[in-house]
Amino acid sequence: MLTAMIRGISPPYGVLPAAALLALGLAAAGPAAAATGSAVSAPDTLDSRPPLVAALSPAGGETLQAADQETLRWSVDESSWGAAPAAITVTVFDGAEVLAQALVPPDPDGTYAWVWTVPDQATTAAVLAVEATDRFGWIGADQGEAFTIEGSSTPAPPTPTVDRLGPVHPNPFNPGTTVAFNLRAAAEIRLTVFDVRGREMATLAQGDRPAGRHAAAWDGRGPDGRAAPSGTYFARLSVRGADRRDELTARLTLVK
């Protein structure tokens, strides 16, 4: 399970959303009360962090059957100001393709479930992604790892004829993205993200993989666990097989 991915950077590293600035509740002199002084508005609660989001199920590695009713589960922690998020979007991706998407009303207890009819589309790269926006404009998000859908009548996806890195979706992105890749034959792989100076930001996938389609998510964080700054990054896929040694690169753009 990926840790929650957070959009926005807390001061002194960034700028608070406009709504959060308004919530500072700076004292504003009101109309003078008769012979008693002036009224002062009560400050609102300042929210300095995004919602903490966790995609719970499917979290990755599961195999779902076409036409089955599956319950997608996730959680949203927005207890810092005692109210539910203003908007929640849940999406199921197959690489860059959207298989399903819904806007879900907030639930004050922070636990969510959505019954989803699995489409008849065979894939090994389906991913559950959840994004929540609070009333101040902070955005929190999370993505599970890739899971499989077995079609009832749709044939399994053909084995790729070449190794390929991409697509990357979304791109540009904030706060996280999913990097898909194809393998024409089984191989040992390492999928990493680098910044423009060549510094390694994250290792997304590593080890032996079978032929076919695969995907891995980057939460937009560096090796120190902090959110990476806006800019250009590169995904690099190293492939080591019995008959090949490939190095593939894709460009990523993080925008805040």
For residue 32, is pLDDT > 50? no
pLDDT, tens only, 186-230: 999 999 999 999 999 999 999 999 998 888 889 898 998 888 999
For residues 225 and 86, the model is more confident at: 225
Task: Return the pLDDT at 245.
Answer: 93
Cα-Cα-Cα-Cα torsion 118, 121, 122, 126, nearest 10 degrees, comes to -60
For residue 152, is pLDDT > 50? yes
Distance set, CA 23 to CA 12, 52, 88, 137, 139 (Å): 18, 20, 22, 12, 17
pLDDT, tens only, 103-129: 888 877 788 888 899 999 888 889 999
5-14, 39-48, 232-241: lowest mean pLDDT where? 5-14
Domains in the chain, CATH or no CATH each: 1-157 (2.60.40.10), 158-256 (2.60.40.2550)
Q: Is the whole-model pTM more than 0.85?
A: no
Kindly state the DSSP code that residue 161 receives in the 8-state scheme.
S
Q: What is the CA radius of gyration of the chain?
A: 22
Task: Return the pLDDT at 79.
Answer: 64
Characterize 73-100 residue by residue with b for buried, 16 or more Cβ atoms within 10 angstroms of its Cβ, and e for exposed: bbbbebebeeebbbebebebbbbeeebb
What are the beta bridge partners of residue 233?
195, 252
